[in-house]
Structure 1
């Protein structure tokens, strides 16, 4: 079905010019040429392909930057929350840990006990997060370029990063628990 050009709602004509020199140096010549062919046809919005590409990628670039910022913020908040939960658990068990140390437990065994407890929370979160990421990966497909949403290397990398961050978050309260003075811990209520 052929329609007259005058009936088209958008009547823009786009002309692409390939040049070996500076692209914007040709703009006046292109305007003159179009004016010679059709003197009532205005030539507006002369741009280089790189500026057009930058403009078209601005929104996805901003979205990626914002997602990255919020991902780092979520990682910091998660690390802080996990440290708080493990520290609270240690503070509730000061007496128990003091008794263990007074009865001859090595500080390394107290350290591993607290780390095991914290890392069980991290492992549960990683399992649920990985399952959720695999289940909802189709939502991210449009934002990824050159990477599949279920790319094993990316998933393993993220799991290792989050697991390592969780281990560091658990390590601080665990070290504090391992350094507990049994005499002070036994006197606390």
Structure 2
């Protein structure tokens, strides 16, 4: 059985538009199949390109994965900044300094709201994060650093509300990850935002937000 046919689009798109097209097609395919199930031919077909044409833009399969992750990080940082009402934001997964006035509970709520609006992207990261537990995976170092940066950011923010900031940071990340997996499996019966608010009442009980 063959998959859907995609038209070879010989139109020369502007470089930025073509790159965005490649990033979005790749993200969708990885969310569906995982990185190991991804083929460059599939990405090329989705974008109306030949494989050599695709390689001209991304260099290699590993290079494509890195480009997708960097693209999503930039998009998510802009979205998160908007939710937090700030002009610029060094997202917690990059290790940069946060703007003043952003509290831990506010940051967590914004992250959950952002994720609730993009289930396909959350699925992409969930699949890749699980796959990248293998040291040989090309995103292994990326996700190790990502987790370290998020924990460091949450720990720094938690110092204002608890005497055990690192423990609270780990609990918050674990709760977010767990709720997201349940939501992805049954989005019709799970409300990610409401589930997080219910969990936050417990995790932040007796703490100043």
TM-score interval, smaller chain: under 0.3
Q: Larger Cα Rg: Structure 1 or Structure 2?
A: 1
TM-score, normalised to structure 2's length?
0.25
- Point out which structure has higher relative CO (alpha carbons under 8 A, 6+ apart): 1
TM-score, normalised to structure 1's length?
0.27
From the two aligned structures, give the one with the greater helix fraction. 1
